[in-house]
Structure 1
Amino acid sequence: MHSVGTEVDSANKSTPYDPLNLDILHQHDTKTNPLGKDFNYHEELKKLDIAALKQDLKEFMVSSQDWWPADWGNYAGLMVRMAWHSAGTYRIIDGRGGAGHGNQRFSPIDSWPDNANLDKARRLLWPIKKKYGNKLSWADLIVFAGTVAYEVVGLKTFGFAFGREDIWHPQKDVYWGSEQEWLDKQRYDNESSDSLENPLAAVQMGLIYVNPEGVNSNPDPIKTAKDIRTTFARMSMNDEETVALVAGGHTIGKCHGNGNVSDLGAEPDMADIKEQGLGWINKKTLGIGKDTLTSGIEGAWTSNPMQWDNGYFAMLFNHDWQLKKSPAGAWQWEPVEITESNKPVAAENPNIRHNPIMTDADMAMIKDPVYCEISKRFYQDHDYFSDVFARAWFKLTHRDLGPVSCYFGPEVPTEQMIWQDPVPKGNNDYDIQEVKEKILASDLSIADMVTVAWNSARTYRCSDKRGGTNGARIRLAPQKDWPANEPDRLHKILSVITKIANESNASIADVIVIAGNVAVENSAKAVGVEITVPFTPGRGDATAEMTDVESFAYLEPIHDAYRNWSKDADTKNQDKLMIEQTQLLGLSAPEMTVLLGGLRVLGANFGDIKHGEFTQRLGVLSNDFFINLTDMSYKWQENEAGYYDLIDRKSGSVKYTATRIDLIFGSNSILRAYSEVYAQDDNLEKFIKDFVDVWAKINNSGYVL
């Protein structure tokens, strides 16, 4: 066994088989998309009149509707909250959530308590969505509406990019927490914010970030500050960005809590059919305008809630604050003393003024020492605050859109930020065949070529489109030192790859991919199948200065089913982690099956691990893995080490060894059905073609022309 890492299942000798749930892999199924498999959103975007769309949104902001009136005659606050809560589900640990798919339209997110009445915001936008049709996704419209809202109230925004494609079914298999009730809190090992369960970012079920009343609805700004720091860090925001977002988000709009929460009907998921998908309907009053109930907190933060100014900090620093209860019974902070002229006017009556309010999160901005210093600087320099907020808002709403090559539209900023994982454009004017010949003439083995290409590609996450081969960051910190990448072996392979790249005027990233392709093509030739792996040159090589080491650390594998490796000796959940890994790679269950079987016979296992190499001709792209897995002349038997032996029924001799990961493809009924297809006598060429298809897909993930 290799000195670093543990073979899968070494501590799992007597664990009973728990059937795998493959449903999360069906998220990549396109059959639910009513637009059809040939629909190309980026092509449709080219037809979108963005200037007209922006003008329509600006006119919409100040066109109050009777069925859901706008506060102060302006929907800016509501649109900002909708966009914020769409983007705010993003979490850096696994890249899931965010604004990139329009999943706020579906369960369970549409029914989170923190998203109360955002169903109304989306219905208000329906006429605009209807007008622009397929040229405008809901995902783009939701965040663009929030961005335009800020422009309407006076902020100079940093820019905007279109390009988010809608999903068409709920992502219910995404893990949002184990709680069975809204606002329950079971995601901490202890009282410390640092113990928040991975990969979650919100502190309670149904919240975007933190409880606005305080930790467990108990006001304490210092404790709330700890929760804020944890949850915003898991959204990839530093302290300055955090203060800017909290302050900028609360510079406009108001909270709604003028009524009795018990009067509200069910959330959209549970509402009566006659409500047509709307939730939180008030059963005793109109429940709109001044009687709206959302968070339960009631009031505006600033004197001028529809104006981008420094009123938020002026209000915070120039008053003493005391705890009060809203009409709905929620804790909120109100000024001890305030002049009538500094109070915001009522949202529906300019002749009435009410006290401003602050949430516990707002009070944290002046009670936490670090946040307080940042808040003071913002208060003293409004232009600086505006710039930091505009950039943080852009990051919030674009964090999961992917590389800038995915950005579309006239307002895409020319400046690239490090969080966008910038990669310089690579050269595509070189002789690819010459590179292949140099690789074949080198000392690299088939396993070396496959391994370096796979290790480079497997970092890709379809959730936020980070990682992948483009940039060749496998040669940079932190990736070059990850145990899963076998640093010593990696260094030797990259020295050969780099030399070939320099001699050929190709990028290292391209040569890494070509090396993997060469290995696949030649190993297929060894069984008599001539095939070429599709390849498009032009990847670039990122530098250390272009690489956010801290955020890339979240992409480090702690397990890799495809290389039969785990960092953790306790591997009872490795088959489930395989599903997680596969989903983040953007693969389906059949693609997972053919990819794993191919990598096993190519010798891609970690280090000296032999489990799962069901072939006598390692390095040849055969379907031997599936043939031997399904061959009933053998039986499987657990051995003393906690692995499994393939035993010849007649002689009793051991032919191969395996892990739980290997055997799952023969024991799970769905995966066995796929395995049997690839084990058939007439399907060797199909196996190779399907493997090449998924291999090319993996190596092109994250690389957009």
Structure 2
Amino acid sequence: MSSAVDAAKQSRCPFHTQKTVSSVEATWWPNKLDMKGLPKTQHATANDIASYKEKFLKLDLAAVKSDINGIMTTSQKWWPADYGHYGPFFVRMAWHAAGTYRTFDGRGGSGTGNLRFAPLNSWPDNGNLDKARRLLWPIKKKYGESLSWGDLMILTGNVAIESMGLETFGFAGGRVDIWEPEADVYWGPEKKWLAAERGGLGDKLDQPLGAVQMGLIYVNPEGPGGMPDPLMAAHDIRTTFGRMAMNDEETVALIAGGHTFGKAHGAADPGAHVGPEPEGARIHEQGFGWTSTYKSGVGADAITSGLEGAWTDNPTKWDNGYFDTLFKYEWEQTKSPAGATQWIPTDKEVKSVPDAHLEGVSHAPIMFTTDLALKMDPAYLEVSTRFHQNPEEFAMAFKKAWYKLCHRDLGPVSRCLGSEVPSAQLWQDPVPAFDSSTAIEDADVAELKAACLEKCSVASLVKTAWASASSYRATDHRGGANGARIRLEPQISWKVNDPDDLIAVLASLTEVQNAFNEKGAKKVSMADLIVLAGNGAVEAAAKAAGNDVSVPFTPGRTDASIEETDVESFSVLEPTSDGFRNFLGVSQPNSPQDMGATAEALLVDRAHMLGLSKGEMSVLVGGMRTIGANAGGSTIGVLTSNVGQLSNDFFVNLCDMSTAWKPSAEDEQLFTGTDRDTGAEKWKATRVDLIFGSNSELRAIAEFYASDDCKGKFVDDFVLAWNKVMMNDRFDVK
């Protein structure tokens, strides 16, 4: 590979770029106040979550919705409502708060109220949504800590839809706000708005990105790169909506449903009249951005996307007008007053759309290039035709897709709060309810641990429990041990899980489960048994090293069926690398490795997904190595002569100055440790192993745990970190 290609890939690497988010933002907003020296408050603690849950559940949700309805048609002079109704504006706000979610890493979405912060608050695609949030300030002020911005924005979107005539599918609260931009989200490599430097469009789009250009939620409404080609637009729509968890039917429902409401704004050339976005605006504008000098700058003179016009004859009412308009006319290209490419009927006499602000004035309906994709792409056409002919089916499809859009990153239904939460949907990875009357007790736990250890090795039980629980990711709360989906496709076939060995372990555990469950009223699920067996194996490994420890165990997990599992959607959870098991994976096109991500960077990202600190990450890696829990039974990085014992040997031997390390001639990812005096080979290791001796922060941790008086401390800390991973998805007890 040429150095030029290497450099290009490194520039797009999601785990290279995400560490320099602040410097990229400084390029966009050089005058922004630098607060890096202050303590971080980005991530909500368990206490924050519990406190918010308690406050939210005391809300009278009906009263909140009534208050929101009260502002829906109360037009403000500083930002007048189109058609006298803020409903369409609030629908757009809620959509753009949620629509950043992407499946590959579960990042984005509405779960943190992140739309308030850079860069999202200043994306071109989010133009003038700063006004929508300011319109909601009286509601936020009234309810304060009991109603987060994240929940308020989504709830307002629901109220807006209901106020325009469509009952929504449901609403769930539970979003806990952050207090500064999310620093670990890779939004793309570009340093210029609307540039496209992310490896190509469509199916060539780099992972984990969802949108095709910097500053867009999905795709360019004028067409790919501004080219008005509906079929090319369909290709990008399918890719981006797919990366945001939507199939063709859901995609058509959302686009058509969203464009049933409201209008686009392009009264004049934005380049000549529109000022900086909120992060770049002057201090006296107090967080407002995109201030326009064109006439009044608001209402009929507003400029947002540069496109101008409405899709339906009644833009504040839910109806089938979008499809009526789409199929009724033939369409030709035209330019908006701002110079953007859009489409109008070839019949110039059509003036069916009322003006949003001027009585007695009407206009031709408009379509975007992306709208025409729903008519010209064969698969989208089939869905659009069916929805046009069956309005009730369209309405239900939109309601369900809207609920999914707004709640996809909230996680399982057990995290959903409020009186309007519907039953669990398939995309929420449902599990059966737990029957507490059959719960196992301490004596049963001890009996089951012993039975599992008789059947399987310590290392195999640790690997199985880790494989089950470590699929969890904190970004959208998917994966984890609950449900025991490790025994189902696709997880049972993931290469990192050593499928042949895993099947053998699961068969042995099934024997233990059946023997126990046949004895009496107490029952153990496979999900609980996998964790319980792993805990027992950790205890056995610690005891072999001379330490008696007890790993906490809380029953309550249940076993999901294949019918309760969206097999296809779980494919994105498959680890491309897992440093905890020293699995480096195989680079695939457009994957993080292909884009230049190092194995150690992917380890850190996996630790982030599991909610681990640097110290917790370190003890887990060190302990997993000495237990012998590497993928494929590899001995690489197992820096101990006492394999199977939970000890601090990994750090002791990594810090041993009698060992000299050098790159291996076999593989650029591998290194050989030799005796400095004799030159004899002592160890082999990966980049993931050696980073604990190379990186100054991690070496400090390694040296701490390698100390003679830290043997017990290491084991205790391993147990705490292990239990944290096993309990990540136990929202029922948090």
TM-score range, shorter chain: over 0.9
What is the one-letter code of the residue matched to 2:378?
P
Q: TM-score, with normalisation over the residues of structure 2? A: 0.89
Residues 337 and 271 of structure 1, relative CA distance in 2, 3 Å threshold = same
- Which of structure 1's runs of 4+ aligned residues deviate more than 6 A? 18-22, 24-27, 34-37, 569-572
Tell me the SS of whatever aligns to 1:216.
helix
Q: Deviations over 1:132-176 (max 9, x none)?
A: 111111111111111110000000111111111112221233111
State how far apart, in whole Å, the 2-side matches of 1:148 and 1:184 are: 35
- Per the alignment, residue 696 of structure 1 pairs with 723
1:653 aligns with 2:680: yes
Q: CA deviation at 1:25?
A: 13
> CA contact under 8 A between 2:471 and 2:480: conserved in structure 1?
yes
> CA contact under 8 A between 1:25 and 1:579: conserved in structure 2?
no
What is the one-letter code of the residue matched to 2:88?
G
1:421 aligns with 2:448: no
Q: How does 1:124-523 map to 2 (within 5 A)?
A: 124-189=135-200, 193-262=202-271, 263-337=273-347, 343-414=352-423, 416-428=424-436, 429-441=439-451, 442-504=454-516, 505-523=523-541
- Per the alignment, residue 32 of structure 1 pairs with 41
- Per the alignment, residue 519 of structure 2 pairs with none
Q: CA deviation at 1:217?
A: 0.9
Q: CA deviation at 1:605?
A: 0.7
State how far apart, in whole Å, the 2-side matches of 1:139 and 1:180 are: 27
State how far apart, in whole Å, the 1-side matches of 2:384 and 2:684 are: 61
- Per the alignment, residue 629 of structure 1 pairs with 654
- Per the alignment, residue 582 of structure 1 pairs with 607
1:609 aligns with 2:643: no
What is the one-letter code of the residue matched to 1:617?
N
Cα RMSD of the aligned pairs, angstroms, is 2.4
> CA contact under 8 A between 2:169 and 2:400: conserved in structure 1?
yes
Tell me the SS of whatever aligns to 1:600.
helix
Gaps of 5+ in 1: 1-14
Tell me the SS of whatever aligns to 1:656.
strand
State how far apart, in whole Å, the 2-side matches of 1:681 and 1:84 are: 56
Residues 370 and 495 of structure 1, relative CA distance in 2, 3 Å threshold = same
Q: CA deviation at 1:577?
A: 1.6
State how far apart, in whole Å, the 2-side matches of 1:34 and 1:639 are: 40
- Per the alignment, residue 120 of structure 2 pairs with 109
Tell me the SS of whatever aligns to 1:607.
helix
State how far apart, in whole Å, the 1-side matches of 2:431 and 2:532 are: 19
What is the one-letter code of the residue matched to 1:498?
T
> CA contact under 8 A between 2:18 and 2:184: conserved in structure 1?
no
State how far apart, in whole Å, the 2-side matches of 1:607 and 1:34 are: 35
Q: CA deviation at 1:292?
A: 0.9
Q: How does 1:518-537 map to 2 (within 5 A)?
A: 518-537=536-555
Tell me the SS of whatever aligns to 1:293.
coil
Residues 118 and 212 of structure 1, relative CA distance in 2, 3 Å threshold = same
Residues 485 and 565 of structure 1, relative CA distance in 2, 3 Å threshold = same
Q: CA deviation at 1:38?
A: 3.5
Tell me the SS of whatever aligns to 2:674.
strand
- Per the alignment, residue 5 of structure 1 pairs with none
Q: Deviations over 1:189-210 (max 9, x none)?
A: 4xx6221221111111110111
Of 60, 80, 86, 2:91 maps to 80
> CA contact under 8 A between 1:86 and 1:102: conserved in structure 2?
yes
> CA contact under 8 A between 1:103 and 1:170: conserved in structure 2?
yes
State how far apart, in whole Å, the 2-side matches of 1:226 and 1:35 are: 38
State how far apart, in whole Å, the 1-side matches of 2:632 and 2:450 are: 22
Q: TM-score, with normalisation over the residues of structure 1? A: 0.93
Q: CA deviation at 1:417?
A: 2.0
State how far apart, in whole Å, the 2-side matches of 1:355 and 1:482 are: 54
Of structures 1 and 2, the one with the larger relative CO (CA 8 A, separation 6+) is: 1
Q: CA deviation at 1:567?
A: 2.6
Q: CA deviation at 1:561?
A: 0.6
- Per the alignment, residue 111 of structure 2 pairs with 100
What is the one-letter code of the residue matched to 1:63?
T
State how far apart, in whole Å, the 2-side matches of 1:610 and 1:250 are: 57
What is the one-letter code of the residue matched to 2:617?
M
- Per the alignment, residue 55 of structure 1 pairs with 66
> CA contact under 8 A between 2:17 and 2:186: conserved in structure 1?
no
What is the one-letter code of the residue matched to 1:583?
H
Tell me the SS of whatever aligns to 2:397.
helix
Tell me the SS of whatever aligns to 2:682.
strand
> CA contact under 8 A between 2:260 and 2:322: conserved in structure 1?
yes
- Per the alignment, residue 6 of structure 2 pairs with none
Q: CA deviation at 1:502?
A: 2.4
Residues 257 and 149 of structure 1, relative CA distance in 2, 3 Å threshold = same
Gaps of 5+ in 2: 1-9, 23-35, 517-522
What is the one-letter code of the residue matched to 1:640?
A
> CA contact under 8 A between 1:201 and 1:235: conserved in structure 2?
yes
Identity %: 52
What is the one-letter code of the residue matched to 1:675?
A
Give the number of aligned pairs.
684
State how far apart, in whole Å, the 2-side matches of 1:536 and 1:233 are: 37
Query: Bigger CA drift: 466-475 or 259-268?
Result: 259-268
State how far apart, in whole Å, the 2-side matches of 1:89 and 1:24 are: 20
State how far apart, in whole Å, the 2-side matches of 1:327 and 1:207 are: 22
What is the one-letter code of the residue matched to 2:261?
I
> CA contact under 8 A between 2:42 and 2:181: conserved in structure 1?
no
Q: Deviations over 1:397-453 (max 9, x none)?
A: 111110000011111113x32111111123451244334434334231110110000
Of 679, 696, 701, 1:674 maps to 701
State how far apart, in whole Å, the 2-side matches of 1:253 and 1:569 are: 45
Higher helix share: 2
> CA contact under 8 A between 1:427 and 1:539: conserved in structure 2?
no
> CA contact under 8 A between 1:90 and 1:400: conserved in structure 2?
yes
Q: CA deviation at 1:637?
A: 2.8
Query: Bigger CA drift: 76-85 or 678-687?
Result: 678-687
State how far apart, in whole Å, the 2-side matches of 1:296 and 1:702 are: 44
Tell me the SS of whatever aligns to 2:729.
coil
1:683 aligns with 2:710: yes
State how far apart, in whole Å, the 2-side matches of 1:149 and 1:20 are: 40
Residues 176 and 254 of structure 1, relative CA distance in 2, 3 Å threshold = same
Residues 602 and 540 of structure 1, relative CA distance in 2, 3 Å threshold = same
Residues 288 and 95 of structure 1, relative CA distance in 2, 3 Å threshold = same
Tell me the SS of whatever aligns to 1:183.
coil
